[in-house]
Amino acid sequence: MCGRTACTLASDEVSRACSYRNRGGQRRQPRWRDGDADKYQPSYNKSPQSMSPVLLSQRHFDKNAPVDECVLASMRWGLVPAWFKENDPSKMQYSTNNCRSENILEKKTYKDPLIKGQRCVILADGFYEWRRKEKDKQPFFIYFPQAQGTSHEKTEDHPSTPACNKENSETVCPPEEASHDLTEGGEAPGEWTGWKLLTMAGLFDCWTPPGGGEPLYTYSVITVNASPSLESIHDRMPAILDGEEEVRRWLDFGDVKSLDALKLLQSKNTLTFHPVSSLVNNSRNNSPECLQPVDLKSKKEPKPTASSKMMMSWLTSSTPSKRKEPNTCGSKEESESKKAQCKSTGALQHWLQGANKKPRAT
């Protein structure tokens, strides 16, 4: 299952982080659908019913758009089917946060969007999962390994890409500033060298209130059996799309038919993880501590791994000032020491505040 995620990049960073190459070989930066950038709010602790960044084909909104053009949209987590008859989507009596890949063709809620080609990619820094042990539940933060650098391969037209971006490299390189300004026509000349976003396969639908009103776009995260590296934590995991080609095929509902697209939904042993504080258990808690590594024995910060080093390097060096600290550091039941930690100026806190870096316009 997948019941909690984190997506902490600002809206313009999300756009740069999921740039892609079109059929002509040009790198493109997807733009946000009108008004949707303002609907998205970065968060260390996103729960169902919140708005998340979703990548999908522009042809869902404009039938005349190029076949390979992608767009970003803000959608609510928890699919509301187009045929739902109530005036209030909260009256749905069953959960649609996750969709089991094995049951997609058996349930009308998911089969209809799939047949219509309403496939999307949910973007996140990573997701949280809880390992049950007797009466306790230990949360983990799960994400793409970051030691390999960016999510894009080195290309001849970008010779400045750091050597640490080579596949299977264990070198941890701090993110470097790339040229993020769009050229005429929307091409992004610089490759993203920051946090590699997790790309999860999903289905979306558009529901309009029976009495009329603004359409509501919602999505469900597709899940598969857990990979060997994650099965000790939980028996399910999101269906991960690893690499630009898998993302492209999942979104290309014109050339890649539904049954062929379903073949992409496999358990992939490509993720890494670390234990985090139980602070994340409460969805109202939205602070950097939610994803900071902890030692399960001492509850102190553990010896960093290659991926966590990359995460800390990225967090401390590349944050726009538009990321403002959430008002909530924790629940009322937290101890005073916990509140003090929440106000501390640790590495993750600096990433959140980004006092020394100004945001770039989308």
Q: Which DSSP string do the residues of 221-262 spell out, in sequence order? A: EEEEEPPTTTTTT-SEEE-B--SHHHHHHHH-TTTS-HHHHH
Tens of pLDDT along 135-188? 889 999 999 998 554 333 333 333 222 223 333 333 233 333 333 344 334 444
Do the domain assignments include residue 100? yes
Tens of pLDDT along 289-304? 999 999 888 745 555 5
Do the domain assignments include residue 270? yes
For residues 272 and 118, give the distance between their C-alpha atoms in angstroms, rounded to a whole number. 29
Contact by Cβ (8 Å): 74, 51: yes
Structural domain range at position 212: 5-353
Quote the pLDDT of residue 316. 55
Contact by Cβ (8 Å): 43, 284: no
For residues 15 and 216, give the distance between their C-alpha atoms in angstroms, rounded to a whole number. 22
Quote the pLDDT of residue 147. 57
Quote the pLDDT of residue 87. 86
Would the pLDDT of 324 be above 60? no
Q: Which DSSP string do the residues of 92-137 spell out, in sequence order? A: --S--SEEEGGGTTT-HHHHHHHHTT-EEEEEESEEEEEEEETTEE
Tens of pLDDT along 16-42? 999 998 888 889 999 999 999 999 999
Contact by Cβ (8 Å): 319, 175: no
Quote the pLDDT of residue 313. 61
For residues 197 and 183, give the distance between their C-alpha atoms in angstroms, rounded to a whole number. 23
Q: How confident is the model at residue 67 (pLDDT cuts 50, 70, 90)?
A: confident
Do the domain assignments include residue 15? yes
**Residue 78 structure tokens:** 């928890």
Quote the pLDDT of residue 169. 30
Q: How many helices (H) and strands (E) does the chain have?
A: 8, 15
17 phi/psi in degrees, rounded to 5? -70, -20
Do the domain assignments include residue 142? yes
Quote the pLDDT of residue 320. 44
Do the domain assignments include residue 359? no
Do the domain assignments include residue 358? no
Pairing of strands 126-133, 70-77: unpaired
Would the pLDDT of 351 be above 50? no
Residue range 319-345: mean pLDDT, rounded: 38
Residue range 102-129: mean pLDDT, rounded: 96
Q: How confident is the model at residue 211 (pLDDT cuts 50, 70, 90)?
A: confident
Alpha carbon of residue 318 to chain centroid: 18
Number of structural domains the chain divides into: 1
Contact by Cβ (8 Å): 287, 329: yes
- Give the pTM: 0.75
| Of 262 and 334, the one with more pLDDT | 262
**CA neighbor of 57 nearest in space, from 246, 250, 201:** 250
| Of 252 and 358, the one with more pLDDT | 252
Quote the pLDDT of residue 346. 35
Largest distance between two CA atoms of the chain? 58
Residues recognised as catalytic:
2, 129
Residue range 249-277: mean pLDDT, rounded: 95
Quote the pLDDT of residue 8. 96
Would the pLDDT of 217 be above 60? yes
CATH number of the domain that 132 lies in? 3.90.1680.10
**Residue 156 structure tokens:** 């001849």
Do the domain assignments include residue 24? yes
Would the pLDDT of 132 be above 50? yes
